[in-house]
Chains A and B, each alone.
Chain A
Amino acid sequence: MDFQIALLLAQDGITNGAIYALLALALVLVFTVTRVIFIPQGEFVAYGALTLVSLQSGKVPGTLWLLLGLGMVITLVDLSRAVRARKLRRMPSVILFNCVMPLLLAGLLSVVSPATFSLPVQVFITLILVVPLGPMIYRLAFQPIAEASVLVLLIVSVAVHVTLTGLGLFFFGAEGSRTPVFTETSFAIGEASLPGQALLVIVSSLILIVALYFLFERTIYGKALRATAMNRTGARLMGISSSMAGMLSFALAGLIGTFSGILISPITTLYYDSGFLIGLKGFVGAIIGGLASYPVAAIGALLVGLLESYSSFWASAFKEVIVFTLIIPVLLWRSLTTRHVEEEP
């Protein structure tokens, strides 16, 4: 292995690691706010990429029907509740978000072929198609059992994952797809060349991470999320709605996942079920951060990317084994250094 190969492997590892880092952050966010280990996180990566592919080939993506379906169900559930409780004040916004917006999108896509739009517009449509699935899934699957134990939430999370994978196969078919590259340019660093697309992935991830930092530090919504993460009961006493915090964290998780999918779809082939493994590697990163610390999780995910890249060079058959075995020493070290805290009832 000479220096150039080492450099190329590092570049590959950092590119993948940047995506894992984004997913690790989303996992930490969702876990701290709602205590859900969000296994379907990776599904947003696959849904985002494959929805973009469908749009580019001029097809109506299957995620539109999922959005419509979930929206209708949520509207019905909320409406029946509101009627029983005689509190109809918030219904207009529920109907607008869950019914009117998806219907408007469906109308738009049925009139104009999405293949004619420019790339930024296609990316934007992909985002508004896939990201709302996050809060919708929270509303339907997790909000009714928000007070359940971590284990119950995990089991529901697995169920959601299996359902989404199955729907992914139905919507997008078994074969993979990739999108054309956003940029053809590449930069020379010494003897190695850095493709513009890889740089785009790294820079966009960094921007997103910085944006998240400012969201948490500077905005009232970010602070509300942090408060909920620290102490749910305390935050509620201060007037922060825990379901609002849950919705918001799932929306952010959806956004991060979809965005990651759009970023990597030009450099790799994505399948309806690719998301799981990508999400799992982000999860290893999140575990290194103890599912609590954002910076450690991001660094851990980057480490996973690098480890994966170098082990695929040295022992490709054992690559996954090496990556996932990393979790054992990490867990050992964490359980020896951290004080065990009982889960709040």
Chain B
Amino acid sequence: MKIKEILFGILAVAAIGSAPTVYADINVGVTLSATGPAASLGIPEKNTFTLMPTSIGGQKINYIVLDDASDTTTAVKNTKKLIAEDKVDVIIGSTISPNSLAMIDVAAEAETPMIAMAAAARIIEPMDAKRAWVFKTPQNDAQMATAIVEHMTNNNVKTVAYIGFADAYGEGWWNEFSKIAEVRKIHVTANERFNRADTSVTGQILKILSSKPDAVLVGGAGTPAALPQKTLREKGYKGTIYQTHGVANADFLRVCGKDCEGTILPAGPVLVAAQLPDSNPIKKVALDYVTKYEAAYGPGSVSTFGAHAWDAGKLLSNAIPEALKTAKPGTPEFRKALRDALESTKNLIGAHGVFNLGPQDHLGFDQRARVMVKIQGGTWKLVK
């Protein structure tokens, strides 16, 4: 290539890159993990943003969606870019906890509210000056772990073995679960790890089997969580198997097949929206999301992960009209007002639960945000 051509190329790219942005609308910056290890969570979230309202409180909303490839550094880079170049009024993201934790500093420094779609309680706790800017929509792991332990004590489970991902997800669940189990006098007989892409977990399963537990908890997300369960059944394990809410999508059922019959897991109510009693206020909102998503992406395509993004949208739709009363979009005052409005959200019904936020609680879920679900006949059944 000649020098002239290269120079022309650089100029062309620069010209496209520096096209001026119009600041009149509300800019919502999104960074999520649509590729990489967390892609199965990030893709339904990304899809959900195409269903979000395009105008709130009479203002046009621009969603700027970036992919962070499940990588912490990229998530931080995306956040900086969204703040510096796109002048966003709020940031939604990221899909996974390590990314979201790393983004807190950047968002707080720029005084931009951030709504995470990741589960770790540490994203919003303990409350401090930085976390004052941070909110999140998924249930805390602790809340889900409590539900599992409760179910175990009610069903006379005395000993339990744990096998989880060798990453933040598996480690987080182990911490929460072992803490609560100890309090409730449930003996944990084995603590094993496996990798998402492992082709065999025979070694771990043999060790679990030799410790003879009443039940096994698998701390994994998506289809990889099926491998320990299938191996357990293959080696003749007869006890109850518990999974976490990370597996709540149709692909898990497809891969796990008949080996998953009888599996018990906690999940957001959106997973079994149609089976909720009519008196439950969440039913209508959750069904609305399921209908919209499946109309766009095909029957059976909905998962609980996308609903976390949907709930982030719900929070915004509720807070933006409030913030617009005091300031104009694109200003620091608007971002401050938006943060205050988010924090004072009361009785907002989302697809995963009812939000009642406060200065100390930036999630705001109560017991209504989780249900116990059993896999029966190849589908999710609400445990009453």
Interface of A toward B, CB cutoff 8 Å: 1, 5, 8-9, 12, 15-16, 19, 166, 169, 173-178, 264, 267-271, 273-274, 276-278, 308-314, 316-317, 319-320
Contact with B199, one of A5, A169, A273, A274 (Cβ below 8 angstroms): A274
Q: Name the distance in Å between B179's Cβ and chain A's nearest Cβ.
A: 18
Chain A facing B: main interface SS:
helix
Known: A175-B222, A269-B223. A264 touches B199 (CB 8 A): yes
**Can you report 30 A-B residue pairs in the complex whose CB atoms are below 8 A from each other?**
A9-B206, A12-B200, A12-B202, A15-B200, A174-B42, A175-B40, A175-B255, A176-B222, A176-B255, A178-B255, A268-B198, A268-B200, A268-B227, A269-B223, A271-B196, A271-B197, A271-B224, A274-B197, A277-B195, A309-B202, A310-B203, A312-B200, A313-B203, A313-B204, A313-B206, A316-B203, A316-B204, A316-B207, A319-B166, A319-B195
Contacts A12-B202, A269-B226, A316-B166 known; 5 new A-B pairs at CB < 8 A: A174-B40, A175-B40, A175-B251, A267-B199, A309-B202
Contact with A273, one of B192, B197, B204 (Cβ below 8 angstroms): B197
Known: A12-B200, A16-B199, A271-B223. A5 touches B194 (CB 8 A): no
- Residue numbers in A under 8 Å from B198 (CB-CB): 268
Contact B200 A309 (CB under 8 A): yes
- Residue numbers in A under 8 Å from B252 (CB-CB): 175
Let me know if B249 is at the binding interface, CB within 8 A. Answer: yes
Known: A12-B202, A271-B223, A309-B200. A316 touches B255 (CB 8 A): no
- Residue numbers in B under 8 Å from A177 (CB-CB): 223, 254-255
- Residue numbers in B under 8 Å from A267 (CB-CB): 199-200
Let me know if B56 is at the binding interface, CB within 8 A. Answer: no
Contact B206 A8 (CB under 8 A): yes
Q: Name the distance in Å between B40's Cβ and chain A's nearest Cβ.
A: 4
- Residue numbers in B under 8 Å from A169 (CB-CB): 35, 39
Contact with B194, one of A15, A311, A316 (Cβ below 8 angstroms): A316
Let me know if B201 is at the binding interface, CB within 8 A. Answer: yes
Contact A312 B204 (CB under 8 A): yes
Q: Name the distance in Å between A162's Cβ and chain B's nearest Cβ.
A: 11
- Residue numbers in B under 8 Å from A273 (CB-CB): 37, 197
Known: A174-B40, A274-B197. A317 touches B166 (CB 8 A): yes
Known: A9-B203, A175-B249, A309-B200. A316 touches B192 (CB 8 A): yes
- Residue numbers in B under 8 Å from A276 (CB-CB): 197
Contact with B224, one of A9, A16, A176 (Cβ below 8 angstroms): A176
Let me know if B102 is at the binding interface, CB within 8 A. Answer: no
Contact B43 A269 (CB under 8 A): no
Let me know if B193 is at the binding interface, CB within 8 A. Answer: yes
Q: How many angstroms between the C-alpha atoms of A308 and B252 in the bound complex?
A: 26
Interface of B toward A, CB cutoff 8 Å: 35, 37, 39-40, 42-43, 163, 166, 192-204, 206-207, 210, 222-224, 226-227, 249, 251-252, 254-255
Instruction: Give the residue name and chain of the B residue nearest to A46 (CB).
Output: B197
Q: How many angstroms between the C-alpha atoms of A316 and B165 in the bound complex?
A: 10
Instruction: Give the residue name and chain of the A residue nearest to B227 (CB).
Output: A269
Known: A176-B224, A271-B223, A273-B197. A312 touches B203 (CB 8 A): yes
- Residue numbers in B under 8 Å from A8 (CB-CB): 202, 206
Known: A175-B40, A269-B255, A271-B223. A5 touches B200 (CB 8 A): no
- Residue numbers in A under 8 Å from B222 (CB-CB): 174-176
- Residue numbers in A under 8 Å from B39 (CB-CB): 169, 174
Instruction: Give the residue name and chain of the A residue nearest to B225 (CB).
Output: A269
Instruction: Give the residue name and chain of the B residue nearest to A309 (CB).
Output: B203
- Residue numbers in A under 8 Å from B203 (CB-CB): 9, 12, 309-314, 316, 319
- Residue numbers in A under 8 Å from B163 (CB-CB): 316
Q: How many angstroms between the C-alpha atoms of A177 and B192 in the bound complex?
A: 23
Q: How many angstroms between the C-alpha atoms of A46 and B195 in the bound complex?
A: 16
Q: Name the distance in Å between B241's Cβ and chain A's nearest Cβ.
A: 16
Instruction: Give the residue name and chain of the A residue nearest to B202 (CB).
Output: A12
Instruction: Give the residue name and chain of the A residue nearest to B166 (CB).
Output: A317
Q: Name the distance in Å between A261's Cβ and chain B's nearest Cβ.
A: 11
Known: A312-B203, A313-B206. A175 touches B197 (CB 8 A): no
Q: How many angstroms between the C-alpha atoms of A270 and B163 in the bound complex?
A: 19
Contact with B195, one of A176, A178, A270, A320 (Cβ below 8 angstroms): A320
Q: Name the distance in Å between B133's Cβ and chain A's nearest Cβ.
A: 30
Contact B35 A166 (CB under 8 A): yes
In the complex, the 7 A-B pairs of residues with the closest C-beta atoms, listed nearest first:
A312-B203, A174-B39, A175-B251, A313-B203, A174-B40, A12-B202, A317-B193
Q: How many angstroms between the C-alpha atoms of A319 and B35 in the bound complex?
A: 25
Q: How many angstroms between the C-alpha atoms of A19 and B39 in the bound complex?
A: 27
Contact with A9, one of B35, B40, B199, B202 (Cβ below 8 angstroms): B202
Q: How many angstroms between the C-alpha atoms of A178 and B203 in the bound complex?
A: 20
Q: How many angstroms between the C-alpha atoms of A267 and B230 in the bound complex?
A: 10
Known: A9-B206, A174-B43. A316 touches B193 (CB 8 A): yes
Q: Name the distance in Å between A163's Cβ and chain B's nearest Cβ.
A: 13
Instruction: Give the residue name and chain of the B residue nearest to A2 (CB).
Output: B210
- Residue numbers in A under 8 Å from B196 (CB-CB): 271
Q: How many angstroms between the C-alpha atoms of A270 and B226 in the bound complex?
A: 11
- Residue numbers in B under 8 Å from A310 (CB-CB): 203
